[in-house]
RNA sequence: GCCGAAGUGGCGGAACUGGCAGACGCGCGGGAUUCAAAAUCCCGUCCUGGCAACAGGGUGAGGGUUCGAUUCCCUCCUUCGGCACCA
């Protein structure tokens, strides 16, 4: 099987030859700002793991490479770059275990993976290569972080703005400050406090320096907050929700994760929830990915409602509900265990039980808290609330099925029409009152859909939608509530207690608080150490101690603001940071004055085609969109969205139809395949397996098929002696052969446009099978075929192109065009059906008149015998397709 | 539980906008070439019956719309992916 024959298709020699040709001639370097239309084709860059590439990587890379090569031949200036997402836990875990510096491991892994990527002959512009761990890359990651730290979200402009503008507006008294520390943007109206007295406001200057700083820090897009986080003592770090699986274990390493309140860096992505949701509309992305993002953002509309507390005039409980129309059915309330009013509202009699419950809830791991989904728990706190719509006295409970992080952390429970409340009410014997009438034959117990209001006083008979509107208006009039929107999306937990990540360009100063480094001081280099080990423990109560904390010399520095002594921030950024903007750095990878040049950004952006795995459906793609929007608001990028079109390649399974994994022993190593069959066969096979977007199993046997095809293509042009085949003549192709050529150009062109590479390859196979049988082959047809093949199997195509007499690479040859007339056969075979069953075939000239077709069909012998004794009722003729005779 | 995608020969898959189901490839069977093999070439290959012409069945299951359904509609089953107490 190996191509060792001297005169035959010797893929290893050919592939080596052309890869060095491309490199020496810089064939795929993309000049900036050419006077050509641009096309930006982006791959999701890989994490350089020690295992190297698996066969899933080159699937997407081959698809994007085909498009890149095709677009170049179509006259586009194509940007097609590659790089490495190189920060991250695995290299660091390895460092902790072996003492090898992550830098060393990472460099080694990048070398290996780059060797692999290069062996496929992808047409990357390697001069733009980057790794997120490069100092001149993360310098600008830090720079973008500073932009976020020094920005706030202006609700009036509905955009991020420099924080200096906020300070200025506060100083000028355009904005005031409420006693609770909130900013009052509209100073012409006194603030209204729900069910309370309007209260006084402060001028910024009336606040202490500490208070001023607090206000400002609370509005930065990057801020520090004490939040319940996922603490993983075994990794010695906190993890984002997304890095914890549903069983409550870390995705990396599968260690238990505990909930703890810790001070962490956060990014205010929630302010962008609405824009991230809205702007999805205009994107050419798979609908399933858009839906996943929508669900992740989780917008809901409803109302916030105030419930008075019996015996307490100075407090109310605010709840959020999407069903204000069920207010009359609220029979109890629930506060989440973390709710600030729990302590205050608990009666002495219940205090011990409640405190115990709250303490337990706080200690519960994510696992325990979600595992017992069936058994609801909770404790009555001893106090009652008053239902504002009917003055009913309803008990207040504390229960961990209500989450502090969503809505107001408190709910009104409507057991009749909410599954969770129903479960809880049944367990604790709380009253269940129907307030929605479902359609006939549907039980109202636990009916959660819309219906007609009942037991709702004056509102009886209203539909859910009408009721919602009326009651929300009423609540607003009474100052008891208002319409409200909520999102499931949470702010992004942005710090890790690890060594191998971007250091925060931040110092903590006793006098000045949290202070950012000036931009000129960037990069803040990750300092050298040989002690990467965070304090790892089995104790969920252990205190995080980042490895950077051991580097006393590095930690102690001077405050850029006051010059006094200060300490550096000890956390580092999460792996996602680097991948949030790499597509922008490619535009200008060597710039050391700015992250990228604005003119280059305007020329190249947006990304026209982004190909990668669906596993990044929400996280990477949402985070990157968020950063992009921040940069857009601050005037650094010119488009609202980074990625116009997104395609997810489907996973490649092992031969056993299972996910490839080391433990199953079904992993296919691309190196072996390339060695056996060559890169061109590898590329071709990955594209021929099936549609790019679907999941499909690897079958080593099938690689043989495309390999044979390339051999046939070779033999079609090159004879046994190694010269161009004597059958190839300068004559123009004619007849059937000419039509086959034009059909092939059409099919391959259209299929590349729609990323249907598998059927494009089928068509080329048909072409080769047919032309191999011809006595004489037109050179023009051979050249055209080689050009069509070249995006798929570029090495063999270049070699054949050269042997056909062209000294220069075909990479910038004009893509073949076809004559539509030559894609149609002069005669067509039609099926003749009787009552929908095919009974005969007839051959007629293309585009024959319906009448002629009908006549020819009825003359056919088999048709006549089937029609014997029947009456023809109707004849349907579909031109160039079939005839259907209806008879009985 | 909710959301999404998909079910077609022995296998991967193809089928425009409702118009001949199974293109192309793998595998398998038969033959040619060869001392022999590899490679290559030719013929066959959805299932059942038949030497054949041909007939019947057939795109997860059941129903519907239609002259005609892999394609559109309803119900159900299975597999995969995502989310999971979000009020």
- For A677-699, the pLDDT digits (tens) are 999 999 999 999 999 999 999 99
Strands A492-493 and A312-321, bridge-based pairing: unpaired
Give the structural domain span for A683. Answer: 675-813
Q: What is the pLDDT of residue A4?
A: 41
Q: Which of A240-244, A598-602, A771-775, A829-833: highest mean pLDDT?
A: A598-602
The CATH code of the domain that includes A880 is 3.10.20.590
Is any atom of strand B within 7 angstroms of residue A599's beta carbon?
no
Strands A652-653 and A696-697, bridge-based pairing: parallel
Mean of the pLDDT values across residues A787-798?
98
The pLDDT tens digits for A171-218 are: 998 888 888 788 888 766 544 444 444 456 888 888 899 999 999 999
Q: What is the pLDDT of residue A629?
A: 98
* CB-proximal positions of chain B, under 7 Å: 3-5, 11-16, 19-21, 23-27, 38-42, 54-56, 67-69, 80-87
Is any atom of strand B within 7 angstroms of residue A320's beta carbon?
yes
**Cα three-residue angle A790-A795-A796, rounded to 5 degrees:** 80
Amino acid A439 CA to nucleotide B2 C1' distance, rounded Å: 21
Strands A222-232 and A258-267, bridge-based pairing: antiparallel
The answer to the question of residue A316 being in a domain is: yes
Amino acid A827 CA to nucleotide B17 C1' distance, rounded Å: 23
From the C1' of B69, which residue's alpha carbon is nearest? A836
For residue A348, give the H/E element and its range.
helix A348-363
Amino acid A886 CA to nucleotide B73 C1' distance, rounded Å: 25
The answer to the question of residue A33 being in a domain is: no
Question: Does the pLDDT of residue A259 top 70, yes or no?
Answer: yes
Mean of the pLDDT values across residues A236-248?
69
The answer to the question of residue A719 being in a domain is: yes
Query: For A123-127, A350-354, A524-528, A550-554, which range has the lowest pLDDT when averaged over its residues?
Result: A550-554
- Tokens 């409507």 — which residue? A414
Q: Identify the domain boundary among A813, A836, A852.
A: A813
Angle between helices A700-717 and A757-772 (to 10 degrees): 50
Q: How many domains does chain A have?
A: 4
Residues A744, A713 within the same domain: yes
The CATH code of the domain that includes A743 is 1.10.730.10
Question: Does the pLDDT of residue A370 top 80, yes or no?
Answer: no
> Residue A200 corresponds to which tokens in the numbers above?
């006084």
The answer to the question of residue A142 being in a domain is: no
Angle between helices A779-789 and A700-717 (to 10 degrees): 150
Residues A371, A454 within the same domain: yes
Amino acid A772 CA to nucleotide B42 C1' distance, rounded Å: 14
Classify the C-alpha dihedral A250-A253-A254-A257 as positive or negative: negative
Query: Taking Cα atoms as reference points, which of A630, A638, A633 lies closest to residue A603?
Result: A638
The answer to the question of residue A67 being in a domain is: no
Q: How far apart are CA A191 and CA A479, in angstroms?
A: 12
Residues A833, A807 within the same domain: no
For residue A395, give the H/E element and its range.
strand A393-398
Peptide bond into A211 cis (omega under 30): no
Is any atom of strand B within 7 angstroms of residue A29's beta carbon?
no
* Burial per residue of A507-542, b for 16 or more beta-carbon CB atoms within 10 angstroms, e otherwise: bbbeebbbbbbeeeebbbebeeeeebbbeeeeeeee
The answer to the question of residue A289 being in a domain is: no
Residues A469, A335 within the same domain: yes
DSSP line for A745-811: HHHHHHHHHTT-HHHHHHHHHHHHHHHHT-SSEEHHHHHHHHHHHTTTSHHHHHHHHHHTT--S-GG
From the C1' of B6, which residue's alpha carbon is nearest? A694
Q: How far apart are CA A611 and CA A615, in angstroms?
A: 12
Amino acid A864 CA to nucleotide B67 C1' distance, rounded Å: 18
Amino acid A711 CA to nucleotide B38 C1' distance, rounded Å: 15
Q: Identify the domain boundary among A781, A813, A845.
A: A813
Q: How far apart are CA A782 and CA A733, in angstroms?
A: 10
Q: What is the pLDDT of residue A201?
A: 80
Strands A882-887 and A827-834, bridge-based pairing: parallel
What's the distance, CA A342 to chain centroid?
Answer: 39
Is any atom of strand B within 7 angstroms of residue A697's beta carbon?
yes
Residues A445, A370 within the same domain: yes
Is any atom of strand B within 7 angstroms of residue A514's beta carbon?
no
The answer to the question of residue A732 being in a domain is: yes
Q: How far apart are CA A239 and CA A227, in angstroms?
A: 12
The answer to the question of residue A161 being in a domain is: no
Is any atom of strand B within 7 angstroms of residue A55's beta carbon?
no
The CATH code of the domain that includes A380 is 3.90.740.10
Note the ipTM here: 0.96
Residues A520, A448 within the same domain: no
Residues A772, A866 within the same domain: no
Is any atom of strand B within 7 angstroms of residue A333's beta carbon?
no
Name the percent of chain A lying above pLDDT 90. Answer: 67
Strands A222-232 and A237-239, bridge-based pairing: antiparallel
The pLDDT tens digits for A794-830 are: 999 999 999 999 999 999 999 999 999 999 989 888 8
Mean of the pLDDT values across residues A333-347?
94
Of A residues 252-311, those with CB within 7 angstroms of nucleic strand B are 287-288, 291-292, 295-296, 298, 300, 302
Q: How far apart are CA A762 and CA A767, in angstroms?
A: 9
Amino acid A856 CA to nucleotide B62 C1' distance, rounded Å: 40
Q: What is the pLDDT of residue A468?
A: 95
- Tokens 């003749």 — which residue? A832
> Residue A867 corresponds to which tokens in the numbers above?
């029609």
Q: Identify the domain boundary among A758, A792, A813.
A: A813
Query: For A534-538, A561-565, A740-744, A842-846, which range has the lowest pLDDT when averaged over its residues?
Result: A534-538
Q: What is the pLDDT of residue A761?
A: 97
Amino acid A772 CA to nucleotide B50 C1' distance, rounded Å: 37
Amino acid A711 CA to nucleotide B33 C1' distance, rounded Å: 19
Query: For A130-139, A245-254, A746-755, which range has the lowest pLDDT when averaged over its residues?
Result: A245-254
Is any atom of strand B within 7 angstroms of residue A237's beta carbon?
no
Is any atom of strand B within 7 angstroms of residue A716's beta carbon?
no
The pLDDT tens digits for A71-117 are: 999 999 999 999 999 998 888 888 888 888 999 999 999 999 999 99
Residues A458, A324 within the same domain: yes
Residues A742, A804 within the same domain: yes
Residues A804, A853 within the same domain: no
Residues A874, A736 within the same domain: no
Query: In which band, very low, low, confident or very high, does the pLDDT at A748 lie, cut at 50, 70 and 90?
Result: very high
Residues A696, A725 within the same domain: yes
């Amino acid at each position: 099987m190996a191509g060792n024959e001297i005169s035959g298709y010797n893929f290893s020699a050919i592939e080596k030859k052309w890869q060095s040709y491309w490199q020496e001639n810089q064939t795929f370097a993309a000049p900036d700002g050419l006077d050509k239309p641009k096309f930006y084709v982006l791959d999701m860059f890989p994490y350089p793991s020690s295992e190297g590439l698996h066969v899933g990587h080159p699937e997407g890379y081959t698809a994007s490479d085909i498009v890149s090569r095709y677009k170049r031949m179509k006259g586009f200036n194509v940007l097609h770059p590659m790089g490495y997402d190189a920060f991250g836990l695995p290299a660091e875990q390895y460092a902790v275990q072996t003492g090898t510096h992550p830098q060393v491991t990472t460099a080694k892994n990048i070398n290996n993976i780059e060797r692999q990527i290069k062996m496929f002959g992808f047409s990357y512009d390697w001069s733009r290569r980057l790794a997120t761990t490069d100092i001149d890359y993360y310098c600008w990651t830090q720079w973008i972080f500073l932009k976020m730290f020094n920005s706030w979200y202006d609700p009036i402009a509905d955009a991020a703005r420099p924080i200096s503008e906020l300070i200025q507006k506060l100083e000028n008294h355009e904005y005031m400050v409420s006693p609770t520390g909130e900013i009052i943007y509209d100073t012409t109206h006194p603030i209204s406090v729900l069910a309370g007295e309007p209260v006084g406001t402060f001028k910024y200057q009336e606040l202490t320096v500490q208070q001023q700083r607090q206000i400002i820090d609370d509005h930065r897009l990057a801020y520090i907050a004490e939040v319940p986080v996922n603490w993983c003592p075994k990794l010695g770090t906190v993890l984002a929700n997304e890095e914890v699986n549903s069983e409550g274990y870390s995705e990396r390493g599968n260690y238990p994760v505990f909930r703890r309140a810790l001070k962490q860096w956060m990014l205010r992505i929630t302010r962008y929830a609405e824009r991230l949701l809205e702007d999805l509309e205009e994107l050419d992305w798979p609908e399933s990915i858009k839906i996943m993002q929508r669900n992740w953002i989780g917008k809901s509309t409803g109302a916030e409602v105030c419930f008075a507390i019996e015996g307490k005039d100075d407090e109310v409980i605010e709840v959020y509900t999407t069903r204000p129309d069920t207010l009359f059915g609220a029979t109890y309330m629930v506060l989440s265990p973390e709710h600030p009013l729990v302590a205050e509202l608990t009666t002495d009699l219940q205090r011990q039980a409640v405190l115990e419950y709250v303490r337990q809830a706080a200690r519960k791991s994510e696992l325990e808290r979600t595992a017992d989904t069936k058994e609801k728990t909770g404790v009555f706190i001893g106090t009652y609330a008053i239902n504002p719509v009917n003055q009913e006295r309803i008990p207040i409970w504390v229960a961990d099925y209500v989450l502090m992080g969503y809505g107001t952390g408190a709910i009104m429970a409507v057991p009749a029409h909410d599954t969770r409340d129903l479960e809880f009410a049944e367990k604790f014997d709380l009253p269940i009152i129907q307030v929605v009438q479902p359609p006939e034959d549907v039980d109202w117990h636990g009916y959660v859909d819309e219906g007609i209001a009942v037991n709702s006083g004056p509102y009886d008979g209203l539909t859910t939608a009408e009721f919602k509107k009326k009651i929300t208006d009423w609540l607003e009039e009474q100052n008891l509530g208002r319409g409200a929107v909520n999102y499931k999306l949470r702010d992004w937990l942005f710090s890790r207690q690890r060594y191998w990540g971007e250091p925060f360009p931040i110092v903590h100063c006793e006098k000045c608080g949290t202070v950012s480094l000036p931009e000129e001081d960037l990069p803040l280099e990750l300092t050298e150490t040989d002690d990467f080990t965070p304090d790892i423990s089995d104790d969920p109560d252990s205190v995080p101690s980042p490895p950077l904390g051991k580097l006393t010399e590095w930690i102690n520095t001077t405050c850029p603001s006051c010059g006094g002594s200060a300490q550096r921030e000890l956390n580092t950024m999460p792996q996602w940071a680097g991948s949030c903007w790499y597509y922008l750095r490619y535009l200008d990878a060597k710039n050391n004055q700015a992250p990228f040049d604005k003119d280059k950004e305007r020329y190249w952006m947006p990304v026209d085609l982004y190909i990668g795995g669906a596993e990044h459906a929400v996280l990477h793609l949402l985070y990157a969109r968020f950063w992009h929007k921040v940069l857009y608001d601050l005037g650094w990028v010119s488009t609202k969205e980074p990625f116009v079109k997104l395609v997810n390649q489907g996973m490649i399974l092992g031969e056993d139809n299972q996910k490839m994994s080391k433990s199953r022993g079904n992993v296919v190593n691309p190196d072996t395949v390339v060695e056996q069959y060559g890169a061109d066969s590898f590329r071709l096979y990955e594209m021929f397996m099936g549609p790019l977007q679907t999941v499909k199993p690897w079958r080593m046997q099938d690689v043989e098929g495309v390999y044979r095809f390339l051999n046939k293509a070779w033999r079609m042009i090159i004879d046994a002696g190694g010269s161009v085949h004597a059958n190839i003549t300068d004559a123009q192709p004619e007849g059937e052969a000419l039509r086959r050529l034009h059909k092939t150009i059409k099919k391959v062109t259209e299929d590349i446009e729609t990323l249907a590479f598998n059927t494009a390859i089928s068509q080329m196979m048909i072409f080769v099978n047919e032309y191999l049988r011809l006595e004489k082959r037109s050179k023009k047809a051979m050249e055209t075929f080689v050009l069509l093949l070249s995006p798929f199997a570029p090495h063999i195509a270049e070699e054949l192109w050269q042997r056909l007499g062209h000294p220069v690479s075909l990479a910038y040859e004009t893509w073949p065009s076809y004559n539509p007339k030559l894609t149609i056969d002069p005669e067509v075979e039609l099926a003749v059906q009787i009552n929908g069953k095919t009974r005969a075939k007839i051959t007629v000239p293309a585009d024959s008149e319906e009448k002629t077709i009908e006549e020819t069909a009825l003359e056919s012998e088999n048709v006549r015998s089937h029609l014997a004794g029947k009456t023809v009722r109707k004849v349907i003729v579909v031109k160039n397709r079939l005839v259907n005779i209806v008879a009985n």
